[in-house]
């Protein structure tokens, strides 16, 4: 016969784990943090009472204040039922009570002992991981209440003692560092969001243009085939041309999707070299793969193999680099309304190198130091600013280099230099 208590205990454990690990759309970040805080406090408050009372006895301990802390933490286990306003109020009361008040009060009543000095410092670290304005309010209210309570119990002398005051600069420094780190994380998060937004805008732009073309061609075909009049040879040729355009645009969209997926994969995967790659082979593969808009654009690109060479890298990541450089060069030619693209494989040079040359609009001198910076694009709104930054990151992982020489209005040359081939690590 099964005992009901163990089963209930298992169900409670399972529910607690689900509360901590699962995040549903209806649960925001604040709710999850309250659940974590409440769970840790509900367990930690009685556990450390036992530790400091029986295993490592401290000068002062108080069960009533701990019971009040346990009650506050236990209430937080029902945070899903709180309204947003109630959740904010609960956080203010609980944080003020536990971290500044309880920890400061115990620190003072134990005459600034080492155990409670460290405990109070840890409590402040936890406190200032919450919203800064909330943490400062809780810190001021809780600390003032703790000092008043200690003075009321006859420990006013402790408040003026050296061991207590020498902790103050440490606490304030800790608060300042945590606040600065939080600001840095916020700025980084904003940069990531900006990069994500720019990336999504680029995807939308790259796919909207071919989709518009496909839509126009389909509408033309529909008009042609719903016309009751007879179809001439010219109509049939127009239909074939429209179908060819649709096929090209679909190929172009597939190519762009492949490029975005390859770039996303490159960001996540290990970049270290794992194979010997033929430079001539990978360039030819990219030229066959690239969806040129027409034969005229394809003829703008010339490959010159002075001397082929192999390098330690990854074929898939090499494709990412070359597709980005080719796409950028052709866009420059399109913007300038002139120019050509020349790709030179120069393995006889020391070190072996690949030259990507376009005689289009060039890059202004003031923009040159920033072209490899993540999320920077020139001209503005020309892309997500991820491509060249990713190319540089991959090249560095291969102990190779990439840099650019340019003259505005004349040319841009991207120079990729590789170390001599060595045994590829397995």
Q: Pick from 317, 192, 198, 327: which is nearest to 261 by CA? A: 317
Average the pLDDT over 402-414 and give the result: 93
Residues 306 and 394 in one domain: yes
Please give the backbone phi and psi of residue 290, each rounded to the nearest 5 degrees, phi first. -70, 135
Q: Which of 9-13, 38-42, 182-186 has the lowest mean pLDDT?
A: 9-13
Report the alpha-carbon distance of residue 75 to residue 93 in Å, rounded.
Answer: 12
Report the alpha-carbon distance of residue 103 to residue 120 in Å, rounded.
Answer: 5
**SS3 helix, strand, coil % of the chain, rounded to 5?**
65, 10, 25
pTM of structure? 0.49
Per-residue pLDDT at 310 exceeds 80: yes
Last residue of a domain, one of 247, 268, 289: 268
Residue 345 burial (C-beta neighbours within 10 Å; 0-12, 13-18, 19+): buried
Contacts of 98 (CB under 8 A, 6+ apart): 41, 69, 72, 73, 123
pLDDT of 292 reads 82
pLDDT of 192 reads 62
- Residue by residue, DSSP assigns 32-53 as HHHHHHHHHHHHHHHHHHHIII
Confidence of residue 13 (pLDDT cuts 50, 70, 90): very low
The answer to whether residue 322 is domain-embedded is: yes
Q: Are 124 and 171 in contact (CB under 8 A)?
A: yes
Query: In which domain, by residue range, is 211 found?
Result: 185-268
Residues 93 and 212 in one domain: no
Residues 233 and 137 in one domain: no
Q: Which of 170-174, 315-319, 391-395 ranks highest by mean pLDDT?
A: 170-174
Last residue of a domain, one of 233, 268, 303: 268
Per-residue pLDDT at 17 exceeds 50: no
Report the alpha-carbon distance of residue 313 to residue 419 in Å, rounded.
Answer: 11
| Separation of CA 273 from chain center | 24
Residues 149 and 197 in one domain: no
Confidence of residue 68 (pLDDT cuts 50, 70, 90): very high
- How do residues 262-286 score in pLDDT, each as one tens digit? 555 555 567 889 899 999 999 999 9
Average the pLDDT over 46-65 and give the result: 94
Residues 310 and 376 in one domain: yes
Per the structure block, which two tokens stand in for 85? 């306003």
Residues 256 and 325 in one domain: no
Per-residue pLDDT at 166 exceeds 90: yes
pLDDT of 420 reads 76
Three-class SS of residue 414? strand
Residues 17 and 131 in one domain: yes
Last residue of a domain, one of 238, 268, 298: 268
- How do residues 107-162 score in pLDDT, each as one tens digit? 999 999 999 999 999 999 999 988 888 999 999 999 999 999 999 999 989 998 99
């Amino acid at each position: 016969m099964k005992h009901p208590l163990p089963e209930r205990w298992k169900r409670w454990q399972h529910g607690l784990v689900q509360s901590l690990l699962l995040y549903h759309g209806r649960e925001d970040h604040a709710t999850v943090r309250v659940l974590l805080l409440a769970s840790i406090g509900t367990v930690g408050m009685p556990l450390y009472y036992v530790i400091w009372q029986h295993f490592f006895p401290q000068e002062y301990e108080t069960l009533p204040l701990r019971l009040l802390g346990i009650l506050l933490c236990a209430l937080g286990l029902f945070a899903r039922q709180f309204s947003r306003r109630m959740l904010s109020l609960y956080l203010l009361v609980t944080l003020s009570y536990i971290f500044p008040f309880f920890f400061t009060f115990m620190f003072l009543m134990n005459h600034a002992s080492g155990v409670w000095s460290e405990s109070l410092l840890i409590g402040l670290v936890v406190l200032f991981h919450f919203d800064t304005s909330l943490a400062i309010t809780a810190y001021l209210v809780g600390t003032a209440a703790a000092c008043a309570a200690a003075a009321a119990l006859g420990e006013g002398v402790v408040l003026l003692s050296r061991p207590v005051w020498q902790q103050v600069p440490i606490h304030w420094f800790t608060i300042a560092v945590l606040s600065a780190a939080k600001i840095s994380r916020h700025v980084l998060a904003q940069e990531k969001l900006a990069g994500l937004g720019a990336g999504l805008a680029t995807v939308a732009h790259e796919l909207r243009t071919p989709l518009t073309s496909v839509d126009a061609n389909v509408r033309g075909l529909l008009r042609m085939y719903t016309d009751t009049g007879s179809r001439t040879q010219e109509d049939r040729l127009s239909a074939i041309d429209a179908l060819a355009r649709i096929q090209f645009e679909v190929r172009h969209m597939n190519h762009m999707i492949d490029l975005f997926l390859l770039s996303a994969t490159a960001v996540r995967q290990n970049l270290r070299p794992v194979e010997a790659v033929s430079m001539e082979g990978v360039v030819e593969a990219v030229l066959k793969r690239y969806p040129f808009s027409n034969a005229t654009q394809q003829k703008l690109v010339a490959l010159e193999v002075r001397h082929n060479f192999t390098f330690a890298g990854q074929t898939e990541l090499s494709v990412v680099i070359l597709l980005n450089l080719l796409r950028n060069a052709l866009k420059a030619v399109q913007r300038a309304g002139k120019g050509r693209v020349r790709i030179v494989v120069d393995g006889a040079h020391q070190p072996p190198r690949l030259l990507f040359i376009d005689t289009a609009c060039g890059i202004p001198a003031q923009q040159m130091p920033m072209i490899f910076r993540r999320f920077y694009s020139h001209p503005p709104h020309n892309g997500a600013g991820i491509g060249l930054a990713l190319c540089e990151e991959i090249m560095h992982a291969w102990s190779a280099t990439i840099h650019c020489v340019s003259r505005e209005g004349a040319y841009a040359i991207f120079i990729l230099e590789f170390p001599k081939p060595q045994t590829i690590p397995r």
